[in-house]
Every structure is written in structure tokens, then in C-alpha cells.
């Protein structure tokens, strides 16, 4: 999971570096690269690339494409760590959507964690140079990512993980091509190192998806998911040293609050057990 978080952080840095290239073009190149790599892997494994659960596979691809479009836009429009911390609302949306449509129970402590996370996001928005429009695009991206995660949850144990990875670029590619036809000005000629960073977005994405899939197949979702939030550390370090981003104490505090809220949400059972032990200890004494 640590390898995955570093890979996604490097992908974010590549997207940030080529901020002068339209988001649609970045996603187009990324989709082509990951589609080719995923197809080769599936053919080597002799697994049917089209899968079985077509409805949820397509839904995962569409929701993921929209979420990615919004996320890449915010990566280019705001400080790296700000974009990532707003995107960290996706687990909150994932849980709420699962409650509404999958009827999964949500504990009181999880509702508390939502309030904590939203408070942190408000602090990031309120004390940093982030426009309302860019902020809302970031939240919209997190929402669609939550929808994509729920589509994946519906296919747990019923679909090969590499097929799920394959459908992300498979569905995103025609969507992006349609946008390119509608907005031809969204494609420009990359220069020099631009190609290196464009290709890097696809390669680092594939590495991250591979290791995050391996991680989820090896341990519980709550334990693995919590590790992913070390990504905010890489984001702050990369933003500081590569892009000279600056973050006031209030924004850093807001980021910490968001991560704390999401961590509590992902480990609600463990936090509840700890609270019960503390309550029992003081009641005994």
C-alpha cells in the first residue's frame, strides 16, 4: 500500500507539472497507456477482458472517468495538497452511498467522523486561495469516486481485479474522445519533457492500481485504506519542494482534521473498542 501511495503521489506530481496541458489530453494519454498495459496483463493471465458484471463494470468506468476528470482539474488549479485533501472526502461519500443503496449500517462514530472531515475541508477552503468553483469541482470529483468505489464493492468476489482495472480506461477512452471532438482546442502539441510526464501519468497509475489491488487482496479494507492517507504527507513534501507550494498553519490544521476524520471512519470498530476500554477504566477507578 505504501508503494501504491507513492506511485499515485508521483502521478499527481506529473499532472501538476504539465499544468499547461489540458486535463482532457492528460486523461486521454493516461487512458491509452493503462488500457494497453491492462490488456496485455489480462491476455497473459488468459482472463476474458470483458468480464461478467457488465453493468457495474461500465458504471465503475463512467463514474471513475468523471471523478478523474474533476480530480485532475483540481490538481492543476490549486496547491497539490489542497486538491488531494478535498479528494479525501471520497471515503465519506462511499460510506453514505453504501448506506442509501446497499443498506450497509453506519455507526454513530462514523457520522461523527463525517462531521470532523467536513470541518477540516471547510478549513482548507476557508483559509486557502481556493475558488468556490474549483472547490465544488473537487467535491464533485470525490462524490463520483465514491460512486465508483460502490460499483467495485458490488463486484467483490464476482469479478477479477484486473478486469475492473481494465474497464477504467476502456470506458474513459470513448468518453474523452467525444469531449475531444466537441472541444478540439483541448488538444495541444506537447513539447520535450511534456511527453515524459504524460507517459509518467499512465505508468505510475498502473503501478499504483496494481499494488493497491494486491494490498486489498491481502488484508482487510479498513486496515489497508488507512495506510493510503500517508499520501497527504507525500503531497505536502512534493508540493513544497517541487512546486514551492506554501501552506499556512490553518490549512495544515484543516488537512490534519480531514485525515483524522477519515481515519476514524475507516477504523470505527477499533476506535469504539478503545473508547469502551477508556470508559471502563475510569468507571472502575
Any idea where the domains of the chain sit in the sequence?
Answer: 2-284
Contacts of 160 (CB under 8 A, 6+ apart): 42, 45, 47, 51
pLDDT reported for residue 64: 87
pLDDT reported for residue 218: 66
pLDDT reported for residue 43: 93
Per-residue pLDDT of the chain (285 residues; tens, 9 = 90+): 789 889 988 998 998 888 889 888 998 998 999 999 999 999 999 999 999 889 999 998 899 889 988 998 998 888 877 888 888 788 778 778 878 876 767 677 777 877 887 788 777 766 567 888 999 999 999 999 889 888 887 787 788 888 988 998 999 898 888 888 888 887 899 988 899 999 999 999 889 888 876 776 666 554 566 566 677 778 778 888 888 878 788 878 888 888 888 778 777 777 777 777 777 777 776
Q: Please tell me the distance from the alpha carbon of residue 199 to that of residue 33, in angstroms, as a whole number.
A: 7
pLDDT reported for residue 216: 64
Alpha helices in the chain (DSSP H): 2-17, 23-45, 54-77, 80-87, 90-101, 108-126, 132-154, 161-182, 193-216, 221-228, 231-242, 249-266, 268-284
Contact (Cβ atoms closer than 8 angstroms) between residue 56 and residue 147? no
Torsion, CA 87, CA 92, CA 96, CA 98, rounded to 10: 80
pLDDT reported for residue 68: 86
Amino acid at each position: 500500500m505504501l508503494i501504491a501511495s507513492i506511485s499515485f503521489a508521483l502521478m499527481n506530481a506529473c499532472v501538476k507539472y504539465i499544468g499547461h496541458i489540458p486535463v482532457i489530453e492528460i486523461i486521454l494519454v493516461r487512458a491509452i497507456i493503462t488500457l494497453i498495459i491492462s490488456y496485455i496483463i489480462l491476455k497473459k493471465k488468459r482472463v476474458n477482458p470483458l468480464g461478467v458484471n457488465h453493468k457495474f463494470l461500465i458504471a465503475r468506468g463512467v463514474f471513475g472517468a468523471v471523478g478523474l476528470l474533476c480530480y485532475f482539474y483540481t490538481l492543476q488549479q490549486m496547491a497539490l495538497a489542497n486538491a488531494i485533501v478535498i479528494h479525501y472526502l471520497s471515503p465519506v461519500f462511499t460510506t453514505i452511498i453504501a448506506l442509501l443503496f446497499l443498506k450497509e449500517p453506519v455507526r454513530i462514530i462514523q457520522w461523527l467522523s463525517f462531521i470532523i472531515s467536513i470541518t477540516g475541508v471547510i478549513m482548507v477552503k476557508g483559509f486557502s486561495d481556493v475558488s468556490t468553483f474549483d472547490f465544488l469541482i473537487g467535491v464533485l470529483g470525490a462524490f463520483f469516486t465514491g460512486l465508483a468505489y460502490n460499483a467495485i464493492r458490488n463486484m467483490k468476489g464476482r469479478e477479477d481485479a484486473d478486469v475492473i482495472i481494465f474497464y477504467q480506461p476502456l470506458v474513459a477512452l470513448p468518453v474523452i474522445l467525444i469531449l475531444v471532438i466537441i472541444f478540439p482546442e483541448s488538444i495541444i502539441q506537447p513539447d520535450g519533457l511534456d511527453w515524459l510526464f504524460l507517459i509518467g501519468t499512465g505508468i505510475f497509475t498502473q503501478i499504483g492500481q496494481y499494488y493497491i489491488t494486491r494490498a486489498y487482496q491481502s488484508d482487510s479494507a479498513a486496515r489497508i485504506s488507512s495506510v493510503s492517507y500517508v499520501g497527504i504527507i507525500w503531497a505536502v513534501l512534493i508540493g513544497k519542494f517541487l512546486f514551492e507550494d506554501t501552506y499556512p498553519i490553518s490549512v495544515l490544521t484543516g488537512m490534519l482534521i480531514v485525515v483524522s476524520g477519515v481515519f476514524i471512519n475507516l477504523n470505527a470498530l477499533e476506535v469504539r473498542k478503545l473508547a469502551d476500554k477508556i470508559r471502563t477504566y475510569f468507571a472502575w477507578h
